[in-house]
Structures are given as C-alpha cells and as structure tokens.
Structure 1
Amino acid sequence: MSLKDFIIPAIDIKDGKAVRLFKGDYNQITVYSDNPVDLAKDFEEKGAKHLHIVDLDGAKEGFSKNFKIVENIIKSVSILVEFGGGIRDYQTIKNLVSFGVSRIIIGSMIFEKKDEVIKAIFDFQNKIVIGIDAKDGKVAIKGWIETTEKSPLEIAKEFDNIPIWGFLYTDISRDGAMVGPNIEATEYLAKNLKHPVIASGGVSSIEDVKKLFKLKDLGVYGVVVGKAIYEGKIRLEDL
C-alpha cells in the first residue's frame, strides 16, 4: 500500500454542500463545495482510491437527507465509497448496499438497535464498519451530541469476533482542528483488535499521515483526511 492509497479523502455533507465542522460543532462550519459529486470526481482524478462520505444532517437528526447525493457520487466514480451518518435501521443499511456503498459506517445504531446491527453484519458480511467516536475517552453518539459511559475498546470488543469489515476511530476533540491525530489511541485500538482500524480526526500534514502509516502492520488500514486537503496542506496529486 502506498502513502496515497492510505489516505481516504472525506466529504461531509450538510444541506447538500460539502463542509467541515470544527471539533464536531455544528455552529462552526465551513463550506468547501456546493457540489459534492464534482468534489468526489476531483478526488478520483487526483488518485484517491476510496472516499469517506458523512451525512451530517443524518447524523444529527437520525435519518439521512442526502442519499440521492451519495447515490450520484457512486454512479459518478469508480472507486470505493464508505458512508455514515443517519443510519438508524436495517432497511437503510440494505438500501445503501443496493446503492453500491462499499463500506457502511454504523455508530449510534449500535446503542439503539444492536440486534438489527448484528443481523446486518451477518447479512452483509465484511461491509459494516463500526464507527467509534471518542470524546474524553468515552464514546459519543447522535452526531457527537450525546456521550456514553463506554470506552472505545469496550465497544469495539463487542463486535471484534463477528464478520464486520473493521472499525473507524475518530477523536472528536481533534476533528477539523488540524492539531494532529490521536496516534496513541489509534495504536492502542489496533493492537488490541483483530479487525482493521481506520483513523480519523486532526490530520494537519503529510507528516501526520506518515506517523499513522507506520502503524499499518499493526492493523491501521488508512486515515480519513478532510480539512488538511481542503486547506491545501496535503495535495493528493503531489504524492
């Protein structure tokens, strides 16, 4: 795997536009593109091998408003697309599979409808990613608005022995802040889990990516990068 292949560009969608939040705060938002489909095509042209798409409206409100955009992105690119945000029931997962989503990220639903999550994991083997969003060492849900009492590893262990694709670990305090990823927490999870871990949150430079890339043999599969690409700190076409 090359360094470029390790990077998963992020497209966060709110009100039909590609945006970034600062530390998960819906009141601190920057719009980067009015057309997420064109942005996805641009990432592919620059050599991205996969895309990370989040429906921020869905994550906050509990149902996706942007499925049509996701469907259009999948039709417009030939690379892998992983998607999360507002997925709260089995039927939604089934619909996303039928759209052609490669990996489906489940977060809040594991607390609300765990039985349906387990059914989806076995029905759509190796397609489900368990999204673990951490705030001060505890897992946060519902668009990062509510915090649970469980640690990331506690949650992950509940799913590590069944046929998921892997885990997505996000440190909310670093997301969109470009202060560097949580290397230690990512490494700790990867060392203690059988399935791959995708890192997310805080990447500010190619040096940050290289630090995570060194953990690939421990099970770190890739890193989601958003703001650092949008702000020109990382240029896919230069890698």
Structure 2
Amino acid sequence: MLIIPAIDLKDGEVVRYTRGRFNKRVYSADPVSVALNWQSQGAKFMHLVDLDAAMTGKAKNLKLIKKIIAVSKIPLEVSGGIRDLAMIKKFIALGASRVVLGTKAIEDIGFLAKAVKEFGRKIALAIDVSASGIGIEGWKRSVKIEFTPLIARLEKMCLKTIIYTDITRDGSLKGLNFPALKRMLQATSIDVIVSGGVCSLEDIKGLIALSSPNLKGVIIGKALYEKMFSLPEAIAMAK
C-alpha cells in the first residue's frame, strides 16, 4: 500500500484546509522544496492539487506544477480543475504519471469515458463524498448521483483508479471513516486510493487490517504537515 504525501497549492503556496473550505493554513511558500523533502524522506508517489484551478477551472499554478514535475524523481498525480482533454494531454506531456479528474468527469460521464479510452490507466476519478452528495468545483457545491449505477459505468469503461475522499473528514485529523471506506471497497473491483482524515499510525494499521486487494494507497496531508507522525514511520508500517 502506497503512502502518498499531498501537496495542495493555493496562490503558489502549500496549504491545507479543513473539509476543503475552513481554517486555511499555509505550510510553505516554497512548494518545490516541499516536494523534494517528501522524496528525500522516501515517498514513492505524490499527490499534487491545484486548489485555485479546482475552484475556478483555471490552472493558476501551472508553472509551479511544471517545476515540481521537473524536479521529481518519483511518479506523481495532478488534480484540480482539469476539465478538457487538452489539459490532460498537457500534464501527461509535462511528465505527470496520472491525471485526476473531478468536476467535469462527474457532470459529464461521457467526457470521462473519452479520457479513459485515450489515456487508459493515466486517468483517475476523484469521488469526494459528503452527506449532500459528491463534491465538485473545489467542493463549493455537490451533486446527487446514484452510487451503484455510477460504479457499474466506471467498471464498464475500464477506469483503473478511484481517489475516494470523505469531505467531512478531510483535514480534520479525526481519523478515517472506515465504515464508508469498507462499503466503497466492497462495491467495486477498481483500485481505490483513500483520503480524508488520517490522524495517526492507527489509521494506517486499520487500512492494512482491511486486507482489501483493491486498496492501493492512502493520501496524507495535514497529519504529515502537523507532524502527527513521520512519513518514514508511515511507509515502514505500510510495508
């Protein structure tokens, strides 16, 4: 299981929010050094989010993302506001190993199907859930979608990876929502990477205890930045 550090970009800085909207905290004004630091600590994969783009659809941090990809010696995925095939091509050409689609793919499943057909396993879908539905547009609003038919369509189009986030737990340091996560893993054979709420090494232990063959990784943000545990500790536990 991969331990994946998150680098969330807002106005050129590394930040974290609580539940995507509240209590913004800036952790670094130098995202490139943050990426290099995670690599030096043993990261094998990174999750890069352009929060400005997620909220507006405009890739405000594109130059910065390009720099991070250029210095990265490990694979990374890019997420946030990617809403057309041309932008997917651009990120892949820059060297992104995977592109995570959200708003556009949720609202237009045909677009997602086209992206998967053209780019295969380089495409992942972000399923960001809360009580009000699936969050889109940087979680500014949500849409109600029947989950079972959605999963069936994703499997039919041969989507390889889902990034599953519990919005109510994201940045909260309250621990993973294991009941919801179990339901997600049991509902599909698609590979799942989980995110939202990791607060201690006990969460890592809990994921391992699930023994789910399609659980491929966990994205960790605030817990690492707040030094609740170290990246090497999490990686060692996940081996």
TM-score (ref. length: structure 2): 0.93
Q: How many residues align?
A: 234
Q: 1:49-68 residue pairs with structure 2 within 5 A?
A: 49-68=44-63
- Secondary structure of the structure 2 residue equivalent to 1:105: strand
Give the Cα separation in 2 of the matches to 1:139 and 1:229: 26
Residue type at the aligned position of 1:57: D
Give the distance between the partners of 2:140 and 2:168, measured in 1 at CA.
13
Partner of 2:114: 119
Q: 1:37 to 1:110 in 2, by over 3 A?
A: same
Q: 1:64 to 1:213 in 2, by over 3 A?
A: farther
Are the counterparts in 2 of residues 139 and 152 from structure 1 also a CA contact under 8 Å? no
How far does residue 175 in structure 1 lie from its aligned partner after superposition?
A: 0.3
Matching of residues 70-219 of structure 1 within 5 Å: 70-136=65-131, 138-219=133-214
Which segment is superposed worse, 209-218 or 12-21?
Answer: 209-218
CA contact (8 A) 2:151 2:187 kept: no
Using the TM superposition, give the Cα deviation of residue 151 of structure 1 relative to its aligned residue in structure 2, in angstroms. 4.7
Instruction: Give 1:190 deviation, angstroms.
Output: 1.2
Q: Name the Cα RMSD after superposition.
A: 1.5
User: Where in structure 1 are there 5+ consecutive unaligned residues?
Assistant: none
Give the one of 217, 223, 226 matched to 1:231.
226
Q: Does 1:9 align with 2:5?
A: yes
Q: Structure 2: where are the runs of 5+ without partners?
A: none
Q: Secondary structure at the match of 1:188?
A: helix
Deviation per CA, 1:174-198: give whole Å up to 9, x if none: 1000000111211211112121111
TM-superposed deviation, 1:137: 6.0
Larger CA deviation: 10-19 vs 67-76: 67-76
The correspondence for 1:40, drawn from 24, 35, 44, is: 35
1:39-92 CA deviation, whole Å, 9 max, x = no partner? 011001000100011110000001211121111111111111011101111111
CA offset at residue 112 of structure 1?
3.8
> 1: distance between equivalents of 2:148 and 2:58?
27
Structure 2 distance, partners of 1:213, 1:31, is 31
Letter in 2 for 1:166: T
Deviation at 1:227, TM superposition (A): 0.4
Contact 1:63 1:88 survives alignment (8 Å): no
Provide the C-alpha distance between the structure 2 equivalents of 1:126 and 1:106, rounded to a whole number of angstroms. 12
Distance 1:168 1:53, change over 3 A: same
1:153 positional shift: 4.6
Q: Which amino acid aligns with 2:70?
A: K
Aligned residue type for 1:90: L
- CA distance in 2 between partners of 1:68 and 1:14 (Å): 13
Moved more, 134-143 or 218-227: 134-143
Give the drift of 1:149: 1.2
Distance 1:96 1:69, change over 3 A: same
Q: Percent identity among equivalent residues?
A: 38
Find the aligned partners of 1:19 and 1:95 in 2 and give their Cα distance. 24
Aligned twin of 1:19: 15
Secondary structure in structure 1 of the residue aligned to 2:33: helix
